[in-house]
Amino acid sequence: MFEPQDHPNDFTYPGGPPKPPYDNAGWTLAFQMGVQFDRILNGFDGPFEKIVGPAKFPPGRVGEARNAAGFLLSHRTNDAFIAINRLLASREEVYWLKKPFSAGENTYPAGTVFIPAKPSTLPMLQKLAADLGLNFDTAAARPAGEAFQLRPMRIGLWDRYGGSMPSGWVRWLLEKFEFPFEVVYPKTLDAGNLAAKFDVLVFVTGAVSPSTETGSENRFDTPPDPDGVPPEFRERLGRISVEKTVPQLLQFLHEGGTILAIGSSTSLGYQAGLPITNALTEKLPDGTDKPLSREQFYVPGSVLRARVDNTNPLAYGIGEEVDILFDNSPVFRLKPDAGLKSVRPVAWFHSKQALRSGWAWGEGYLEQAVAVVDASVGKGKLFLFGPEITFRGQPHGTFKFLFNGIFYGRSASVTLP
């Protein structure tokens, strides 16, 4: 749970290619969950007592409410999103502050959550503090400057007939953190008019094919015979296709919608014409690009360290570096005109030694490769997450990429009075 896995290099013969691990080689939960810890090898003692069963977290606190203009909540805690969703469902105002600021002895980073005080606010915050262990500081005056005003989002989560395991895990996350959402099947997407139904669409790995063909073919993804499917479930049949579905998704983006694409579904970035290239290719003598072979690069499910621009709203609440579960994931390089086209890197591998736990062959190819992209498409937002930021409900340290993306794209930018 705490120690990194160190998978050995086992070569087929001296000087030959390595034998890759069969499955995930690194999974250290403390890294995935963003837990900071010290390893103590010397004996020590203290006023300790044995805990039996799951430990109950201590209740949080709410600052002095008399004459308060509002309350401040840290963006660092994942459970802050449960609080945000409950507040929005109760018609409370919620903002993300765009700039860091100081109040008294405290300094608050960009992304700090501000909740203006109303008669109904304090009792709700007191209950949230008790239920979730969250702390709310008092703001004597409204923080000045720009902020994102949040509102409840109409979320659509892609799935398919028979079920997608990655989609199922994201469904569990959205339920756990109290995001309202609807499961969406390909026929609904193909019908279009998506902006009238949704603000945000989420596509997990396996939803959008990296090729120009309709869907990906594998033994888990063979379409059933419609005649063998009960009539009440036939509306769930179908796949996302480049010819029929992708134009509807691009129209949704141009009309102001937000799309979150994870893993192989980031191929939507190429279909949207973003100024990005595949980072895991090599240039051939004739000038064409060839994907790296498995003997050159292979990372079968390991934990890698990435640098983060946490001034970008997509990364609010995340540190300057983050551990990411990488499973032969897509990564990108931005073309020179990316900045001019409002395409920005949010997380990238900043060194040739990105491996934290597991096994990575040819990890030097990842240096300066971009893992998370924030792109504007028309009036909307397309967020690309190459690595598995929600993998099996484990990497709590990267859940905020998903949660931030849900709110960021469609939140209004306002100036607080």
pLDDT score of 333: 95
Query: Burial of 50 by CB count in 10 Å (0-12 exposed, 13-18 middle, 19+ buried)?
Result: exposed
And the tokens for 311? 């001034």
pLDDT score of 211: 56
The Cα 243–Cα 386 span in angstroms is 23
CATH of domain 155-409: 3.40.50.880
Q: Would you kindly state where each structural domain of the chain is located, as residue ranges?
A: 70-149, 155-409
Full pLDDT tens readout for the chain, 417 residues? 999 999 888 888 887 778 888 888 999 999 999 999 999 999 989 999 999 999 888 999 998 878 888 999 999 999 999 999 999 999 999 999 999 988 778 889 999 999 999 999 999 999 999 999 999 999 988 888 999 999 999 999 999 988 899 999 999 999 999 999 999 999 999 999 999 999 999 999 998 877 533 334 444 566 787 877 888 888 788 788 889 999 999 999 999 999 999 999 999 999 999 999 999 998 888 888 899 988 899 998 999 999 999 999 999 999 999 999 999 999 999 999 999 999 999 999 999 999 999 999 999 999 999 999 999 999 999 999 999 999 999 999 999 999 999 999 999 899 987
pLDDT score of 365: 94
- Give pLDDT tens digits for 75-123: 999 999 999 999 999 999 999 999 998 877 888 999 999 999 999 999 9
- CB-hemisphere CA count at 13 Å for 293? 4
pLDDT score of 220: 53
| Domain 70-149 in this protein, CATH class | alpha beta
pLDDT score of 114: 96
pLDDT score of 216: 43
Report which residue type is found at 301: G
pLDDT score of 103: 79
